[in-house]
Structure 1
Amino acid sequence: MVFLTAQLWLRNRVTDRYFRIQEVLKHARVSAACPAWALDAREIPRAKGRPARASLTTLVSRFLTQHFRGRKNRCYSLAVRAVIRAFVKCTKARYLKKKNMRTLWINRITAASQEHGLKYPAFIGNLVKCQVELNRKVLADLAIYEPKTFKSLAALANRRRHEGFAAALGDGKEPEGIFSRVVQYH
């Protein structure tokens, strides 16, 4: 692995653990899926004195369930059930995280646009009418880290709301140091 910074190098334990689990899984799949005579001699995982299923058992008991409470980290059958349940929850949590992040961005944009006298639907709708194609993540970041730029976007949306698209093209009253223009698509 190549680490670009010292901070990433210090945090590499998690990644090493992930790749170690993947390596164990790969050998467990190879030994379970193919008979020994079908594999090249160099690809056969060597288990000295242990059955071929031991690598999968080791994976479940040592790596995937070591942080579980009770018998779920010791008894194999309970551990397998707990790991399957954890994988299902992990899959659902990925979608829930996306939903929560979108809600957070909308809340941030709402708060920032209300500071400039606009409600969220009016702000977003007028930006769309002005053909400003910034997504909610970028708008939320602009609201936090670039307040002058967000102020000019709010002024653009406000002008569009009050006067229409012709007036929104600009009258030169943007905040100092901000360059903005509207690109028209054919």
Structure 2
Amino acid sequence: MPRSTNSVSSRRKRKKILKLSKGFYGSRSKVYTVAKNAVEKSFVYAFYGRKRKKRDFRSLWIQRINAGVRQYGKSYSEFMNKLSEKKIKINRKILSYISMNEPNVFKKILDDIYSK
């Protein structure tokens, strides 16, 4: 029985990898075996990046809230503690938006928390 190869699907597989490696430096975008390794590594970086993004945004929100609170002589941890004591449920993303774009509303929140 003669040997048969499936050149269509193997070529398709190689083309897919080379397409994914488009824009990579040097042989990482030209040579299939090198490109395959580079693409696999890039998928690993992409996976970690998606996890990292969440962490980075949370820390950014915390920094923005802290900057907004410090204008009025308070600290971030104090502010968050008062929020939880008063059972006010506003997440950090919204609080950071308010502190940056709506300073009057943020001041009102601070006054309400610290007045009572």
Structure 2 length-normalised TM: 0.89
Superposed, 1:1-186 pairs within 5 Å as 51-61=8-18, 63-159=19-115, 168=116
Q: Please, which runs of 5 or more residues in structure 2 have no aligned partner?
A: 1-6
Structure 1 moving runs of 4+ over 2 Å: none
SS of residue paired to 1:74: coil
Q: Deviations over 1:19-70 (max 9, x none)?
A: xxxxxxxxxxxxxxxxxxxxxxxxxxxxxxx522211211111x21111001
Matching residue's letter, 2:86? C
- How far is 1:157 from its partner? 2.4
The residue number in structure 2 matching 1:28 is none
Q: Please, which runs of 5 or more residues in structure 1 have no aligned partner?
A: 1-49, 160-167, 169-186
- How far is 1:118 from its partner? 1.0
Q: CA RMSD in A?
A: 1.1
* Higher fraction of helix: 2
Which one has a bigger Cα radius of gyration?
1
Q: Using CA pairs under 8 Å that are at least 6 residues apart, name the structure with larger relative contact order, 1 or 2.
A: 2
CA distance, structure 1, for counterparts of residue 80 and residue 110 of structure 2 = 9
